[in-house]
A and B are shown apart, each in its own frame.
Chain A
Amino acid sequence: MSIDMSQFYQVFFEEAGENLAAMESLLLELDVQAPDLETLNAIFRAAHSIKGGAGTFGFSDMAEVTHVLETLLDRLRKQELDPTVEMIDAFLQAGDVLKSQLQAHQEGEEYEDARVAEVCEHLERLAHSDEGGGEAPVSARDGAASSVTHWRLAFAPASIGRGTPGERQALFEALGELGRIQDLGDGESERCLWQLTSTAGRGAIEEILAFVCEPGQVEIDTVETPGAPPAETETETAYGFFADAPGLEAESSVAAPEPDQDALGYGFFEGAPGTEPTPEERAEAPDQPQEPDLLTEIQESNGYGFFRNAPGSEAALDQEHKGYGLFGGSPGMERVAAVARQDRLDDELGFGLFNPAPGSPESRAENDEASASIPMDASSAKSTAGRESRAASGNAAKRPATTDSSIRVSVEKVDQLINLVGELVITHAMLADSAAGLDPVVHERIMAGLSNLERNSRDLQEAVMSIRMMPISFVFNRFPRVVRDTAASLGKKVTLKLIGEDTELDKGLIERLADPLNHLVRNSIDHGIERPEVRLAAGKPETGEIVLRASHRGGSVVVEVSDDGGGLNREKLLAKAAKQGIPMPDNPSDKDVWQLIFHAGFSTAERVTDISGRGVGMDVVRRNIEDMNGRVEVDSTAGRGTHITIRLPLTLAILDGLSVRMGEEMFILPLTVIRESIQPRAEQFKTIVGKGRVAQINDEYLPLVSLHDVFNSGRPEPDPLDGILVIVETNEGRAAVLVDELVAQHQVVIKSLETNYRKVEGVSGATIMGDGRVALILDVDALVRLSRRGG
């Protein structure tokens, strides 16, 4: 093909990733005892989208796995099988395989793993778990190309642009290359029906069809042939006879990747028993005594569509005598409806026949082409309305709706926009400053304009900032899986509760929050939640609970991880601290003790498990959080559980800071590092061997950092007694920073110095103050290091 598909790969990777994530969360949501059809359909759709994309872009390995996945899902959503925990496990495994495959493709490699075959095989086995004696009516659909399969292709030539006989013939011949092909239809009608006998799989057929049309526009079905060759021809005619019968439609509408509903509709009405030619044909049927029985048999064994669960012979008889009675609440209709869930019956009465799976109208609606071609009759409109009301309560239906109307924008562009708006706000501040001297009465219009400008630019700033915001559910959604897997591997029973998933914060933060949260949750399961027997002995429910909660509090986002486990052990922690030589006050407060878990190399796990002892400790968690200008706090009650609170700024682009003056320069100290500020007294300044200066604060000797010293201001240092000591928290404990003056508290927009210059020691970035000047943001950890070197 001349089009370079690789340019669209990225889109596929992103979409497939999203679909996989959606699939996983839906799977975890699924209640095996009472499966929600809506959820099953949503899972099917996700799998189907991945398959479609993978097929289009030529990632056949992914398409294969999703295909097998889809087969089982399809049976589940048609309620032919009941979901089991084993299936869910298999689905999750398949999801993992797909993820690895996706990643491999993303890195431009092929994914080779025996797991693929294993998972596929497992899924296939599950898909046929209800079929005894090796008789597998649907097995041929699985694309197993090992044996000869009779494929039936039904399509409306006009709708795929193959209207002329010549064009049709070309396609006919192309398909003929795969095997023996027969035209079962009369060749003149608006619908073509071909039968292809070939060893080729569905993929090969779709490939050929792809040259002329959307594979979805052609129904591809398999035909089971009774073993005896003489019966074959009869079967074929019989099929020709029933080719467009409702049962087949129902089956193929699900089996075909993207059913052309329009064509289906035609097929139904034209070829259906109710139309003119059929009664004659049917009248002939009784002449051949064996035929009805055969038909019945075939229908039963193939289990086309609705009649799978209905008594097959009755259905066939019913069709023969009053085929179109099916439309209007005839006994046949009732049997059909019995398959569908009762509550959907009302909604989909009428065209329920076309869509045995109650959710499929929705998938149809997703397909623009298809939906455009469906005449919206009253009943379908009704069903849409009905579904909408359900959607309000159903999570699964809500999510796709919110993602529909979004666009992908590069972060760079958004950052640029944020920059420009920030600039606008500063420009406004400058204008307002110069206008301050004007007489408000004389220059009324200017003043009014300025206040309008202020409001507009503030709104604009907020709106632009919100572009970067994403709901925290993006990171929360992975945890049901994490909890499930971790708990299973540790033999514990844990449920997870998510609260406040809609809380929004900066995308950059969300990505960086994932790892620390992951660690905390796994820690909670490993160390916090006790084994079921221990819990029961302690009078607690067998199943532990972990709560992940996110909320906005003031200008920050608070993320809490709490468990109802055993809590931290104060004595153990203190003993460990003593062993490691960590200095502790004589009678430490609980808070001080809990902080111990953040020390590097501090693990209270008695044994190294799969989860803990992998070298990622709580110290890393704390560092990660602090890198985001956030804070972590621990609270624990023995026997009641542990509660970890992470406080983060709403966005990384903005920092809460305190501006301090040194000489004529302004600096910003991040508020998160400041403990307190004091006016020093002379006796608080001490020196060690005449050099190292310390400040005595509350019986503690803190290293003294003078900004004048560190930054070589070139001016003689002013009297320290005129300055202010800011006590800051650094990686290596507290320190006192001596500044000339505290000016004000600001929210500042962080700018990088490195973009155009280079890294400057002691400075983590720069910002632009209200007057348009640049102020440097101090990095206290580096300041202390610098000061030590200088002193």
Chain B
Amino acid sequence: MNDERREGSAVATDSAREYLTFTLGEEEYGIDILKVQEIRGYDAVTKIANSPDFIKGVINMRGIIVPIIDMRLKFHLGQVEYNEFTVVIILNISGRIMGVVVDGVSDVIALRGDQIRPAPEFGSVLDTAYIDGLATLDERMIIMVDIEKLMTSQEMGLVDQTHLAVA
């Protein structure tokens, strides 16, 4: 699965790619930095009725309506508390702009493909379809997330599936 993934998105397999790491509770995650548009603080959101609870609502980002997803609620992690340190990572995923709420952004790291180890299978306990693998950096374990796959998945309900089929 890992190999297949690399073929799909990593153009240069031997050279290092950069990842943005962020924390959710006790865990550290990494996402492809090319998908990140900007990082900003948490603002008041406008709630959207009848949406899953991890979708906090929408915000106005310079005239664009952007949905905000709380990753901690999605992954059932950490204490959901909004303060001045709460960070929103604005992602640009295949032309769609969306924001994810995380506890904090820690670093930008460069990793070569061979530094990422495949994640063990957890069976039905944990769906690892969106996890690219695990990387180790200075004793820290970083969970590499395929953010694009995650955000456009049906289960997130962020994107109209019909819409996606057209696009």
Q: Is B105 an interface residue (CB 8 A)?
A: no
Q: Map CB proximity to B onto A400-432 as digits: 1 under 8 Å, 0 otherwise.
A: 000000000000000000011011001000000
- Shortest distance between the CB of B160 and any CB in chain A (Å): 4
Residues of B close to A756: CB separation below 8 A: 64-67, 96-98
Q: How far is the CA of A38 from the CA of B64 in the complex (A)?
A: 50
Q: How far is the CA of A426 from the CA of B60 in the complex (A)?
A: 11
Residues of B close to A753: CB separation below 8 A: 58, 65
Q: How far is the CA of A789 from the CA of B160 in the complex (A)?
A: 21
Stretch at the interface among A62-70, A173-181, A476-484, A772-780: A772-780
Is A773 touching B46 in the complex (CB atoms < 8 A)?
yes
Residues of B close to A489: CB separation below 8 A: none
Question: Which of A422, A713, A758, A776 has a CB less than 8 Å from the CB of B163?
Answer: A758
Is B60 touching A757 in the complex (CB atoms < 8 A)?
no
Q: How far is the CA of A755 from the CA of B96 in the complex (A)?
A: 7
Is B46 touching A665 in the complex (CB atoms < 8 A)?
yes
Q: Is B83 an interface residue (CB 8 A)?
A: no
Q: How far is the CA of A612 from the CA of B44 in the complex (A)?
A: 54
Residues of A close to B59: CB separation below 8 A: 774
Residues of A close to B136: CB separation below 8 A: none
User: Which residues from 669 to 720 on chain A have a C-beta closer than 8 Å to any C-beta of chain B?
Assistant: 710-713
Q: Which residue of B lies closest to A714 (CB)?
A: B47
Is A758 touching B47 in the complex (CB atoms < 8 A)?
no
Is A762 touching B60 in the complex (CB atoms < 8 A)?
no
Q: Is A752 an interface residue (CB 8 A)?
A: yes
Q: Map CB proximity to B onto A752-788 as digits: 1 under 8 Å, 0 otherwise.
A: 1111111111110010100011111000000000000
Question: Which of A710, A751, A755 has a CB less than 8 Å from the CB of B49?
Answer: A710
Q: Is B129 an interface residue (CB 8 A)?
A: no
Residues of B close to A665: CB separation below 8 A: 46-47
Q: Map CB proximity to A onto B11-36 as digits: 1 under 8 Å, 0 otherwise.
A: 00000000000000000000000000
Q: Is B158 an interface residue (CB 8 A)?
A: yes
User: Which residues from 358 to 403 on chain A have a C-beta closer than 8 Å to any C-beta of chain B?
Assistant: none
Residues of B close to A712: CB separation below 8 A: 49-50
Q: How far is the CA of A94 from the CA of B131 in the complex (A)?
A: 64
Is A776 touching B50 in the complex (CB atoms < 8 A)?
no
Q: How far is the CA of A419 from the CA of B58 in the complex (A)?
A: 17
Residues of B close to A759: CB separation below 8 A: 160
Is A774 touching B49 in the complex (CB atoms < 8 A)?
no
Assuming the A-B contacts A753-B58, A755-B96, A768-B60, are A774 and B65 also in contact, with contact meaning beta carbons closer than 8 angstroms in the complex? Answer: yes
Residues of A close to B97: CB separation below 8 A: 755-756
Assuming the A-B contacts A665-B46, A711-B49, A774-B46, are A757 and B62 also in contact, with contact meaning beta carbons closer than 8 angstroms in the complex? Answer: no
Q: Is B141 an interface residue (CB 8 A)?
A: no
User: Which residues from 722 to 767 on chain A have a C-beta closer than 8 Å to any C-beta of chain B?
Assistant: 751-763, 766
Is B64 touching A772 in the complex (CB atoms < 8 A)?
no
Q: How far is the CA of A775 from the CA of B48 in the complex (A)?
A: 10
Is B158 touching A774 in the complex (CB atoms < 8 A)?
no
Is B64 touching A755 in the complex (CB atoms < 8 A)?
yes
Residues of A close to B66: CB separation below 8 A: 756
Residues of A close to B163: CB separation below 8 A: 754, 758
Q: Which residue of B lies closest to A758 (CB)?
A: B160
Residues of B close to A420: CB separation below 8 A: 62-63
Residues of B close to A710: CB separation below 8 A: 49
Q: Is B157 an interface residue (CB 8 A)?
A: yes
Residues of A close to B51: CB separation below 8 A: 760
User: Which residues from 147 to 165 on chain B have a C-beta closer than 8 Å to any C-beta of chain A?
Assistant: 157-160, 163
Assuming the A-B contacts A772-B60, A774-B58, are A757 and B49 also in contact, with contact meaning beta carbons closer than 8 angstroms in the complex? Answer: no
Question: Which of A713, A757, A762, A763 has a CB less than 8 Å from the CB of B67?
Answer: A757
Is A423 touching B49 in the complex (CB atoms < 8 A)?
no
Is B63 touching A775 in the complex (CB atoms < 8 A)?
no
> Interface residues of B, CB < 8 Å — how many?
26
Residues of A close to B98: CB separation below 8 A: 756-757
Is B159 touching A758 in the complex (CB atoms < 8 A)?
yes
Is B63 touching A419 in the complex (CB atoms < 8 A)?
yes
Q: How far is the CA of A711 from the CA of B48 in the complex (A)?
A: 8
- Shortest distance between the CB of A40 and any CB in chain B (Å): 49
- Shortest distance between the CB of B142 and any CB in chain A (Å): 27
- Shortest distance between the CB of A751 and any CB in chain B (Å): 5
Is B158 touching A768 in the complex (CB atoms < 8 A)?
no
Q: How far is the CA of A755 from the CA of B49 in the complex (A)?
A: 18
Question: Which of A751, A757, A776 has a CB less than 8 Å from the CB of B63?
Answer: A751
Residues of A close to B44: CB separation below 8 A: 773
Q: Which residue of A lies closest to B92 (CB)?
A: A756
- Shortest distance between the CB of B159 and any CB in chain A (Å): 6
Residues of A close to B65: CB separation below 8 A: 751-753, 755-757, 766, 768, 774
Q: Map CB proximity to A onto B64-107 as digits: 1 under 8 Å, 0 otherwise.
A: 11110000000000000000000000000000111000000000
Q: Which residue of A lies closest to B45 (CB)?
A: A774
- Shortest distance between the CB of B92 and any CB in chain A (Å): 10
- Shortest distance between the CB of A760 and any CB in chain B (Å): 6
Is B160 touching A754 in the complex (CB atoms < 8 A)?
yes
Is A776 touching B160 in the complex (CB atoms < 8 A)?
no
Q: How far is the CA of A426 from the CA of B122 in the complex (A)?
A: 49
Q: How far is the CA of A420 from the CA of B62 in the complex (A)?
A: 7
Q: How far is the CA of A756 from the CA of B163 in the complex (A)?
A: 11
Is A423 touching B157 in the complex (CB atoms < 8 A)?
no
Q: How far is the CA of A758 from the CA of B98 in the complex (A)?
A: 12
Residues of B close to A773: CB separation below 8 A: 44, 46, 60
Is A423 touching B62 in the complex (CB atoms < 8 A)?
yes
Assuming the A-B contacts A753-B65, A755-B65, A766-B65, are A760 and B48 also in contact, with contact meaning beta carbons closer than 8 angstroms in the complex? Answer: yes
Residues of A close to B63: CB separation below 8 A: 419-420, 422-423, 426, 751, 768
Q: Which residue of A lies closest to B46 (CB)?
A: A774
Q: Which residue of A lies closest to B59 (CB)?
A: A774
Residues of B close to A757: CB separation below 8 A: 48, 58, 65, 67, 98, 158-159
Q: How far is the CA of A488 from the CA of B157 in the complex (A)?
A: 56
Q: How far is the CA of A583 from the CA of B23 in the complex (A)?
A: 64
Q: Which residue of A lies closest to B47 (CB)?
A: A665
Residues of A close to B60: CB separation below 8 A: 426, 768, 772-774
- Shortest distance between the CB of A710 and any CB in chain B (Å): 7
Q: Which residue of B lies closest to A765 (CB)?
A: B65
Q: How far is the CA of A711 from the CA of B50 in the complex (A)?
A: 6
Is B58 touching A766 in the complex (CB atoms < 8 A)?
yes
Q: Which residue of B lies closest to A425 (CB)?
A: B63
Residues of A close to B64: CB separation below 8 A: 419, 751, 755-756
Q: Which residue of A lies closest to B164 (CB)?
A: A758
- Shortest distance between the CB of B15 and any CB in chain A (Å): 32
Residues of A close to B47: CB separation below 8 A: 665
Assuming the A-B contacts A422-B63, A774-B59, are A758 and B50 also in contact, with contact meaning beta carbons closer than 8 angstroms in the complex? Answer: no
Q: How far is the CA of A759 from the CA of B64 in the complex (A)?
A: 15
Interface centre among A423, A711, A758, A766 (most CB of B within 10 A): A758
- Shortest distance between the CB of A684 and any CB in chain B (Å): 26
Q: How far is the CA of A752 from the CA of B58 in the complex (A)?
A: 12
Q: How far is the CA of A763 from the CA of B49 in the complex (A)?
A: 9
Q: How far is the CA of A762 from the CA of B65 in the complex (A)?
A: 17
Q: How far is the CA of A710 from the CA of B49 in the complex (A)?
A: 8
- Shortest distance between the CB of B129 and any CB in chain A (Å): 21
Residues of B close to A762: CB separation below 8 A: 49
Q: Map CB proximity to A onto B123-143 as digits: 1 under 8 Å, 0 otherwise.
A: 000000000000000000000
Q: How far is the CA of A598 from the CA of B79 in the complex (A)?
A: 57
Q: Which residue of B lies closest to A711 (CB)?
A: B49
Assuming the A-B contacts A758-B157, A758-B159, are A775 and B62 also in contact, with contact meaning beta carbons closer than 8 angstroms in the complex? Answer: no
In the A-B complex, the 9 residue pairs with the closest CB atoms: A711-B49, A774-B46, A423-B63, A758-B160, A757-B67, A419-B63, A768-B60, A756-B97, A766-B65
Instruction: Provide 27 A-B residue pairs closer than 8 Å at the C-beta atoms, listed in order of the A residue.
Output: A423-B62, A423-B63, A426-B60, A712-B49, A713-B49, A751-B64, A752-B65, A753-B58, A753-B65, A754-B160, A754-B163, A756-B67, A757-B48, A757-B65, A757-B98, A757-B158, A757-B159, A759-B160, A760-B49, A761-B50, A762-B49, A763-B49, A766-B46, A768-B60, A768-B65, A774-B60, A776-B48
Q: Which residues of B come within 8 Å of A, CB atoms?
A: 44-51, 57-60, 62-67, 96-98, 157-160, 163
Extra contacts, 5 of them, besides A426-B63, A774-B59 (Cβ < 8 A), are A419-B63, A711-B49, A757-B159, A759-B160, A776-B48
